[in-house]
Amino acid sequence: MLNLDWKSKLVSSDMPNKSPKLSLSDKPRVSVPPLPLPFRSTDISTASASVCSAYECYLQLPELRKLWSSKEFPNWRSESIFKPALQALEITFRFVSTVLLDNRPYANRRVWKRRTESLAKTQIEIIAMVCEDEEEDTETRGTAPTADLSSNGVSRSYSEASLLPRLAVWYKSKDVAQRILTYVESEMSRCSYALGLGEANVAGKLSLCYDAVCKPNQLHSLTKTPYDNIDNFENQTLHTTHQIIETWIYVARQLLERITERIESRRFEKAANDCYVVERIWKLLADVEDLHMLMDPDDFLRLKNQLAINSSAETAPFCFRSKELVEITKLCKDLKHKVPGILDVEVDPKGGPRIQEAAMKLYADKNSGFDRIHVLQAMQAIESAMKRFFFAYKQVLVVVMGSLEANGNRVGLSWDSGDSLSQIFLEPTYFPSLDAAKTFLGYLWDNDNGNPACGYDRRIRW
């Protein structure tokens, strides 16, 4: 890691001339206090193999992965991202019906109804973001499998297998489904085709071949769990929410791989777009985890016992039973290695401030590549969203299971007690050079005495 204490030496008179000198024009030299030494970076790992295997068996992840990764449209380059995203949305429609079938008198139906509707809308927003990116790219535009239904005198796109059109005519879910359909129409307005879920499609656009892409019938066949004999309504809730989570984690991994490809091919604006989708997915995962706080405490803790979910012999947090969650966390951290390439500099083996200086110059002279600023900002947005997810997850565990269980049966909740969740959101930034560059630029602004007549080129000498 670079030595961030270099800033206090940067403005001193005896600095070597090997690196560019930064100074304030016609201003007294400013002494910048050194940043405190950061905490040690956290190395995360999955739970034990047996626990991870039981988790995957419960959610039927091997069968789900086959649906996510199937390739049936060779000309559609976005299929690996679009297909699982639509499948996560379809599972959410099933979740809506599950919630509305809950006959327990103590269930908070009003809040559950609003939360599931909001969850569906958030996913539609992310799908629309992916679709817009596809439309703007000349290599992917027009490659999605669509059909012209208007030629048969049909003015309404329609999926025969999706649950949403059925929810739209069921008296318990009609209001929710109609609002979701209206939202689909609104969010997809910038795209050249409709999703094919039964939205109005006033513009008469082509409709996505939803059933052929999503395969709702095969997807909904994966509803049974090895514990279906358990008489506990929260069992289906837990199963469905985690299927949604795992599906979006898969989408995030596909996007992270595409981000790397786009950065290496110097398509920075496209990479930035994907980064913001990944950021949105982290926030979505946090929203899904929040649903656990709506579960009945007694029913959930009884289910935990029935499923033999116990942390007494397992030191890893519950969420690290997901191998893919651990993997995308590492991939998000590894984005830091792309910074030197984006800035067109090499890492100084002596720990010098090359990357920081290049970042400062980029921030100051926006004409040299605003697309690079966009991708750097987007990468830091991913870090922020990811750390917020683990912080929020920690709080969810405390509320749902109690602080002792949430901490792996270890006394104390402080970061230095060995709690890896706390260490993740307390560890230092993954982009120390960008952080240092912004810190120093802030000092330059603060010591400019608010003179608006001075531009960056007059105040900073490179």
Q: Residue 86's closest CA among 33, 41, 37, 145?
A: 145
Indicate whether 205 and 70 sit together in one domain: yes
Same domain, 16 and 53: yes
Asked if residues 167 and 93 have their Cβ atoms less than 8 Å apart, the reply is yes
Tell me the C-alpha distance between 173 and 294, whole Å.
Answer: 19
Q: What's the CA gap between 280 and 62, in Å, rounded?
A: 26
Q: Is residue 431 part of a domain?
A: yes
Q: Are 459 and 25 in contact (CB under 8 A)?
A: yes
By the 10 Å C-beta count (0-12 exposed, 13-18 middle, 19+ buried), 445 is classed as exposed
Shared domain check, 448 and 336: yes
- 120 and 170, same domain (yes or no): yes
Name which of 293, 275, 271, 273 is nearest 384 in CA terms.
275
CA-wise closest residue to 183 among 134, 144, 109, 126: 126
Residue-level pLDDT at 404: 78
The predicted structure's pLDDT at residue 328:
97
CA-to-CA distance for 426 and 162, rounded, in angstroms? 43
Within the chain, how many helices (H) and strands (E) appear?
A: 20, 3
Same domain, yes or no, for 453 and 329?
yes
Give the domain extent around 100.
63-223
DSSP-assigned beta bridge partners for residue 413: none
pTM above 0.75, yes or no: yes
Same domain, 41 and 90: no
Domain count within the chain:
2
- The values of phi and psi at residue 193, to 5°, are -140, 160
**Helix H or strand E segment including 53:** helix 49-59
Tokens encoding 60:
């039927």
Residue 8's pLDDT is 43
3-state secondary structure at position 64: helix
Which tokens is 417 given?
């007690």
Residues 113 and 16 in one domain: no
The DSSP output letter for 36 is: P
Judge whether 126 lies within some domain: yes
- Assess whether 282 and 413 both reside in one domain: yes
Q: Is 255 inside any structural domain?
A: no
| Pure H helices in 226-353 | 234-264, 268-290, 297-306, 323-333, 339-343
Residue 155 contacts residue 201 (beta carbons within 8 Å): yes
Q: At what angle do helices 61-69 and 79-100 cross, to 10 degrees?
A: 130
> Is residue 241 situated within a structural domain?
no
Whether residues 17 and 138 fall in one domain? no
- Give a yes or no: residue 251 inside a domain: no
Contacts of 154 (CB under 8 A, 6+ apart): none
SS3 (DSSP) at 452: coil
Domain for residue 228, yes or no? no
Q: What is the mean pLDDT of each run of 10 residues along the chain (462 residues)?
A: 39 41 44 48 82 94 96 93 98 97 95 97 97 88 83 62 95 96 96 93 92 96 88 95 98 98 96 98 98 96 87 74 96 96 88 88 83 96 97 93 71 53 88 92 74 42 44
Residue with tokens 């981000």: 259
SS3 state at 322 = coil
* The one-letter amino acid at 457: D
Crossing angle for the helix pair 61-69 and 234-264, to the nearest 10 degrees: 40
Same domain, 330 and 459: yes
How far is it, in rounded angstroms, from Cα 428 to Cα 129?
Answer: 30
Whether 130 is covered by a domain: the verdict is yes
Q: How far is Cα of residue 5 from the mean position of the Cα atoms in its chain? A: 32
Last residue of one domain, picked from the residues 223, 255, 290: 223
Distance between CA atoms of residues 406 and 396, nearest Å: 9
- Name the one residue in this structure whose structure tokens are 């297909």: 83
Instruction: Please indicate, yes or no, whether residues 168 and 105 belong to a single structural domain of this protein.
Output: yes
CA pair distance 437, 440, nearest whole angstrom:
5
245 is a domain residue: no
User: Could you tell me if 98 and 153 lie in one domain?
Assistant: yes
